[in-house]
Amino acid sequence: MTRGVRHYRIAPGVTAFTLVLCFAPPAAAQSVQELQRQIDELKTMVRQLQQEAQQRTPATALATPPAPTPAPPQVAEIPPPRPMMTGPAQVAVAPPQRKAWYDRLRLRGYTQMRLNETISGGDLDIPSGSRLRSVHDGGVTEAGNFTFRRLRIVLEGRVSDDVSIYIQPDFATRVGGQSVGEPREGFGQIRDAYADWFPDKEHRLRLRFGQSKVPFGWENLQSSSNRLTLDRSDGINSAIPSERELGIVAYYTPPSVQRIWDRLADAGQKLFGNYGAFGVGVFNGQGINRVEVNNDLMTVAMATWPVELANGQVVEFGGALLRNRVQPEIRTGGTSPTAFRDERVGLHAMLYPQPFGIQAEWNWGRGPEFDTRLGAITTRPLDGGYIQTMWRVGQSPLGTFMPYARWQRYRGGWKAAINAPRLATNELELGIEFQPIAPLELTLAYSRMHRQEADERRIGRAEGSLIRTQLQFNY
């Protein structure tokens, strides 16, 4: 519409009246019939003009359509408000900022508090007789009460897309000879300190550098925070006491294997940790936190493979090889001048509890052992392992719980102790683990032990029964 020009709306009746005045002849010159005919023609013209006015569009300036009849109010659906644009219509989205390496780290840990009570048997009542002791728990004594078995703090994280770190000290280490020969507890010691490098994009292959677990024995690789039984078996753990060494190891996990392990982990199964389906490594070989004293390396290779059955359960089979030359500490001081052969082969089998499960391991080989007849350390045969059954109850008024039974046997040397004394172990353990809430785990166990003490100066084997309790709190 043109600015400055006013348009007026003319009613259809006024338009008709104006036309009559303009075109009608004088009344004196017309008859009544002629006037009636002209009136009828004018009415027809008015009706045509009204129809044309209703059909015309608002684009015609002088012919404005008749005012529409008011319609009842209608409620329009209001669309959700659109965000206000504070900048140009097209704004480039900035890429997400990468976290700094220190923002990728996390801190976690767990603590295990124990109480061991001897209910029958105990130390041999003979001169220099073996006492009822365990190489895994210094709290197994007739005079012991509460002890800290482990107090671990873990610092871990991925410092880049291809490198991760893992550092774990333990603050429940016992150190001997601190006060007139008596041990003291609560010392800090490095357990793990390593970095993983993933050279492939899928992170199936990892190279681990530093002090970490040695891939020998399924039970050795499984974390103590995740293990069902209170202690590892003598036979399997004798290969790598404390489970760790300083060196380099490579692990590889195929996608099909990783999918099975991920499903088991999501179901709450106690796995051995992601140490790969295949592993091979080289290490110093003298033991955790000990000085290397020879120019030889311990070499280890491991393989394990899970198979999913038709009923959904998973079985896992595997084995490991170890070759080493070790020089045990001797009672006169220092280490043995002779490096003894330490060679083993181990097998393991696992039926994950759904709800019933079985776990078994055994190893055979030869290693250093003190010969009481010769009064010296020699290389001798060894063998040992365990068989374990368990039943997993995932839901109950008491939370998740798992009763279990394990029998173990071992005959051979214990190279981590002074003079590599011989162990002769038979033990039956019956227990149950409760987890009422995620941060707390309570284990109650009965152990029937028949053990030779890890001291070449002791003779015989002690026998006894214990009630053992452990409270683990995770954080």
Which residues, at least 6 apart from 299, have a Cβ–Cβ distance to it below 8 Å?
Answer: 280, 281, 282, 322, 323, 324
| 1-23 residue pLDDT tens | 444 444 444 444 434 434 333 34
Residues 46, 185 within the same domain: no
Query: What's the whole-number average pLDDT of the chain?
Result: 86
| 27-76 residue pLDDT tens | 444 566 777 777 887 787 877 777 776 666 444 443 444 444 544 445 44
Boundary residue ending a domain (12, 44, 63): 63
Q: What is the mean pLDDT of residues 248-262?
A: 96
Residues 38, 184 within the same domain: no
Q: What is the mean pLDDT of residues 265-284?
A: 93
- In this predicted structure, the answer to whether residue 141 has a pLDDT above a threshold of 70 is yes
Q: Is residue 90 in some structural domain?
A: no
Strand, coil or helix: 51: helix
Other beta carbons less than 10 A from residue 211's beta carbon: 21
Residues 225, 345 within the same domain: yes
Residues 390, 297 within the same domain: yes
Is the Cβ–Cβ distance between 64 and 49 less than 8 Å? no
Q: What pLDDT, on a 0 to 100 scale, did the predictor assign at position 29?
A: 44
pLDDT above 90 covers what percent of the chain? Answer: 69
Q: What is the mean pLDDT of residues 204-223?
A: 97
| 351-360 residue pLDDT tens | 999 999 999 9
| 70-107 residue pLDDT tens | 444 454 444 555 544 444 455 566 666 777 777 889 99
Q: Is residue 151 in some structural domain?
A: yes
pTM: 0.78
Q: What is the mean pLDDT of residues 309-318?
A: 95
Host domain of residue 57: 1-63
Q: Is residue 308 in some structural domain?
A: yes
Q: Rounded to an integer, what distance in angstroms lies between the CA atom of residue 127 and that of residue 459?
A: 9
What are the two backbone dihedrals, phi and then psi, of residue 391, each rounded to the nearest 5 degrees?
-135, 125
Which residues, at least 6 apart from 403, have a Cβ–Cβ distance to it below 8 Å?
Answer: 390, 391, 431, 432
Q: For the domain that residue 116 is a member of, what is the CATH number?
A: 2.40.160.10
CA dihedral sign, ordered 284, 287, 290, 296: negative
Residues 57, 119 within the same domain: no
Residues 324, 241 within the same domain: yes
Domain count, the chain: 2
Q: Is residue 99 in some structural domain?
A: no
Q: What pLDDT, on a 0 to 100 scale, did the predictor assign at position 61?
A: 41
- In this predicted structure, the answer to whether residue 207 has a pLDDT above a threshold of 90 is yes
Q: What pLDDT, on a 0 to 100 scale, did the predictor assign at position 409?
A: 98
**Length in residues, the chain:** 475
Residues 287, 391 within the same domain: yes
Residues 240, 166 within the same domain: yes
| 391-434 residue pLDDT tens | 999 888 888 999 999 999 999 999 999 999 999 999 999 999 99
Residues 131, 13 within the same domain: no
Residues 310, 439 within the same domain: yes
Q: Is residue 281 in some structural domain?
A: yes
